[in-house]
Amino acid sequence: MHQQTYYVAIFLFSFLLTLLYVFHWHKQFQVHMTVMFIVISIVNLAYLLMYANHTPEASISLLKIIYIGGCFLPWLITMCELSLCRIQVPRPLWMGALLVSAGVYLSVLTIGYAPLFYKSLTIVRVGDAWIQQREYGPFHTLHYVCLALYMIADIAIVLYTYLNKKQVSRKVLLLLFIPIPVTIAAYAVSHRLMQLGYELTPCTYVLAQIVYLLIARRIGYYNVGEMVVESMVESGDTGFITVDNKGRYLGSNETAKDILPGLRQLTVDQPISEEVTLRDTVCSWLEGFQRDPGMGKQVYERDDRCYIATVNHLFDGRKQCGYQVFLQDDTQNQKYIHLLDQYNADLQAEVAVKTEHIVVMHDKLILGMAAMVESRDNSTGGHIRRTSQGVRILIDAIQKSSALQLPEEFCRNIIKAAPMHDLGKIAVDDAILRKPGRFTPEEFEKMKAHAAEGARIVHEILSGTDDESFRRIAENVAHYHHERMDGSGYPDGLKGDAIPLEARIMAIADVYDALVSKRVYKDAFSFEKADQIILEGMGTQFDPRLEPFYRAARPMLEAFYASED
């Protein structure tokens, strides 16, 4: 009875740990870790079933499942360690190790047929416990040799990383090391406990799950830094530093280390304040930002260079998990400022050029972000470019008429804002966004959230811009382009003139593109059919006051879309 309770408890605990891992899962998690959790749960279930069944035939079948863990888990754990320690090994080496493990497992499959792995297996009852008496074959000795080699490799990986890689968290290294002495101790006493019908191997597997679950919970912080690294060039004029909410160092790029050499002395998870040379720089910037977010920009001078240090919050999804500091070489601009009194006219021209360059860069970043969002959507390839052109054509038709006098700034801003209308789709799950067919009602409800989310993202992106008019128009386009004149739209169910004009214009271009473009759930409609649907929607879905301008723009719209075929 106690024996069965022991294996039931081990399995349930293992299964619970696997569920916790699934709850914390991120796409950044490596596949070896995920497979490891699944295999351990299956193996511990096999242990439970093996000691609940007392026939040699059932025991042999379940042993073959158990040895999936015995043969392949050491390889999976070693691969996890290599990845976490950022150590690259040649492909032939890790493939060779996998093939050796597979070879050992093939010998396991001979149990009951040939004396390669087990010469014999008998089951006896001693008191309330069932005990397996096993006589091992030569391949079982090879199995122990492989386990010993994996153990030595694991120790070597941890020690090498501790001595040579400061950018790997010492907490992670400690967690990776803990199972090693425990496993050695478990093997030392396992033979004695097996005589009582209890195996410690399932316990060591559960310990591995606990360790990697703790590591997985911390990985998200480090991956934030990795995502930043992937989005920036390692070399150049811009450096970045990331810290968590407690001021502990998470990472930086080489440019930042060149600007602030003290960063090279830090290890991951070490408080930045412990490095004296960083107290008057990074620590001071962070403290100023925490007191007043308006102090997010500071000037830092070193040697003959001048840098702008910009502090922002660091987010993991919607969760604020730390801070990021960007260091931008601003030497040239500062020289211009120092010479402003003497060269005022020339500097104004330079500022205008630089401002235009920044605007162009800003626009390209916005288009790049919009294109990135669109790339996740299976069904709307080219939608951003086409709807932007559609808005441009509609605005051109409005400007040619005297019926609706729109300011030049408004027209320019709505054209510029059009590519941002679907930015909110970045928050939509891939399973929905990339679905090759129509949405279910539940999926459509989740998709509808992209409008409000898009407005929030646009607000965050443009919150620091001086162009308040453009920010407001861009937010309205993202937020309300799915509203309808009769109030049946989303997300707020606005009606009539309560819908901003820019959103009403965007709605026509958006729906027109959806009609005449092929989707995974429909073929492209003809121009005549699309025109019929648009005109029928005037007064219900679309603003009827825009109908004359749509009619005037229709030839240009058809010509543009015809050229796209």
425-465 confidence digits (pLDDT tens): 887 877 777 777 777 888 888 888 888 888 898 888 887 77
The lowest-confidence range among 11-15, 197-201, 388-392, 501-505 is: 197-201
What is the pLDDT averaged over residues 329-345?
A: 67
Lowest mean pLDDT among 288-302, 366-380, 496-510: 366-380
The two structure tokens encoding residue 219:
């990985």
Examine the domain organization and report whether 124 and 211 are in the same domain: yes
Q: What is the CATH number of the domain that holds 311?
A: 3.30.450.20
Same domain, 219 and 250: no
Residues 167 and 209 in one domain: yes
CA angle at residue 561 from 560 to 565, to 5 degrees?
120
Q: Averaged over 25-30, what is the pLDDT?
A: 64
Domain final position from 207, 227, 247: 227
| Backbone Cα Rg of the chain | 32
- Domain match, 305 and 440 both: no
Q: 367 with 431, same domain?
A: yes
In this structure, is residue 315 part of a structural domain? Answer: yes
Q: Could you tell me the pTM of the whole model? A: 0.45
For residue 18, pLDDT over 70 is answered with yes
- Is residue 479 scored above 60 in pLDDT? yes
pLDDT tens, position by position, 217-275: 776 555 554 555 455 544 456 888 999 988 899 888 888 888 899 999 899 889 999 89
The pLDDT value given to residue 365: 65
CA–CA separation, 94 vs 183, rounded Å?
A: 22
Q: How many structural domains is the chain composed of? A: 3
We report the CATH number of the domain holding residue 413 as: 1.10.3210.10
Sequence-distant (6+) residues with CB within 8 A of 384 are 367, 370, 371, 374, 419, 422
The answer on 21 and 167 residing in a single domain is yes
Q: Which of 304-318, 375-389, 488-502 has the largest mean confidence?
A: 488-502
Q: Which of 386, 344, 325 is nearest to 564 (CA)?
A: 386
Instruction: Tell me, yes or no, whether 349 lies in a domain.
Output: no
Q: Average pLDDT, whole number, for the chain?
A: 82
With a CB cutoff of 8 Å and minimum separation 6, the contacts of 325 are 240, 241, 242, 243, 256, 282, 285, 286, 309, 310, 311
Q: Which residue among 288, 311, 338 closes a domain?
A: 338
Residue 397 is encoded by which pair of tokens?
């038709």
β-strand 319-329 against 238-244: which pairing, if any? antiparallel
Tokens 């593109």 sit on residue: 513
Domain interval for residue 173: 2-227
Q: Are residues 522 and 553 in the same domain?
A: yes
Residues 220 and 265 in one domain: no
Boundary (domain end) residue, out of 227, 253, 287: 227
Which residues sit opposite 328 in a β-bridge? 238, 308
Residue 80: which CATH number?
1.20.1070
Q: Cα separation of 324 and 225, whole Å?
A: 9
User: Which of the pair, 351 or 210, is modelled with greater confidence?
Assistant: 210
- Residues 439, 504 share a domain: yes
Structural tokens at position 262: 């003290």
Q: At what angle do helices 450-462 and 441-448 cross, to 10 degrees?
A: 20
Q: Are residues 121 and 66 in the same domain?
A: yes
Helical ranges in 251-382 per DSSP H: 254-259, 284-291, 331-338, 344-375
Q: Two tokens at 138?
A: 């030569």
Q: Is residue 345 part of a domain?
A: no
Same domain? For 34 and 60 the reply is yes
Q: How far is CA 541 from CA 73, 401, 514, in A?
A: 59, 23, 14
Residue 347 lies in a domain: no
Is residue 86 within 8 A of residue 165, CB to CB? The reply is yes
Do 326 and 365 lie in a common domain?
A: no
Does residue 381 belong to any structural domain of this protein? yes
**Residue 344, domain member (yes or no):** no
Residue with structure tokens 């040579």?
Answer: 164
Closest by CA to 197, choosing from 133, 121, 131, 135, is: 131
Residue in 194, 198, 203 with CA at minimum distance from that of residue 40: 203
DSSP state of 446: H
CA 518 – CA 530 distance, rounded (Å): 12
117 within domain boundaries: yes
Position 193 in a domain: yes
